[in-house]
Amino acid sequence: MSETVKNNSTAPLKRRPRGRPRSTAARVAILRATAEILEEGGVTAVTMEGVAQRAGVGKPTLYRSWRNAHELTMAALIETQKAPPAVRATASALDDLRQQLRKVAAVFASRIGRSVAMMVAAADDGTELSKVFRTHFILARREEGRVLLAEAVSQHAIRRDIDFEIALDMIYGPLFYRLLVGHKPLTAEFTDGLLAHAIAGLTNRKARR
């Protein structure tokens, strides 16, 4: 599995592996079929058997690239979100962050949001693909946020003595919270308000402490 990921993302790997190469046609058909099933029935509807049948592919071909339905689902989800949007757009880092949060919320609120949530929750294994998945959907956004926060510091919009780890969790955590628990909707009003509260703080400044 890991080598597939590598081949398709980074390493050039001069030496071509021996034997017949994996069929890209099959790979595409599999990921498309998985995405379709995911769309129609959600995470629990994805079975190796069903995907193989819909993709017109043998089961062993699935297992050659993904070791179970969980991995396959993650791969398909990643595939649907291949193009990461540009982050920096405006002059204000905080404005950029606000935009990014809205986008993340929009993805989470969409059909695939629940699937992502379930996959993250279920992905307790230390698989390579699990890490890739978490990074792709969760941590990458968080890292973008870190850049924007640092920028905001240098723009003097944010204090320089904050704990970045905590600040980032404070901003992105609530999105996940609403996604999973679903007690309130994931709207732009929410993310905007969240950011505003995070920046301003809850404290009553007149009666400091």
Binding site for DNA (CB under 7 A): 16-23, 25-27, 29, 47-50, 52, 55-61, 63-65, 67-69
Among candidates 157, 159, 158, 195, which has minimal Cα distance to 175? 195
181 binds its own copies (CB under 8 A): yes
Among candidates 191, 29, 205, 11, which has minimal Cα distance to 108? 191
Instruction: Give which of DNA, its own copies, none residue 23 binds (C-beta under 5 to 8 Å, depending on kind).
Output: DNA
Residue choice 26, 142, 147, 150 for contact with its own copies (CB under 8 A): 142
Tokens of 75: 């791969």
**Closer of 15 and 160 to DNA (Cβ):** 15
Residue choice 83, 86, 91, 207 for contact with its own copies (CB under 8 A): 207
Buried-exposed string 130-153: b where 16+ CB fall within 10 A, e elsewhere: bebbbebbbeebbebbeebbebbb
| Residue reference for tokens 């924007």 | 148
CA–CA distance, 26 with 45 (Å, rounded to integer): 20
Binding segment (CB under 8 A) for its own copies, from list 45-53, 77-85, 101-109, 191-199: 191-199
Residue choice 1, 26, 157, 188 for contact with its own copies (CB under 8 A): 157
Binding segment (CB under 8 A) for its own copies, from list 7-15, 21-29, 82-90, 131-139: 131-139
Residue choice 55, 120, 129, 148 for contact with its own copies (CB under 8 A): 120
- Written as one string, the DSSP assignment of 84-101 is PPP---SS-HHHHHHHHH
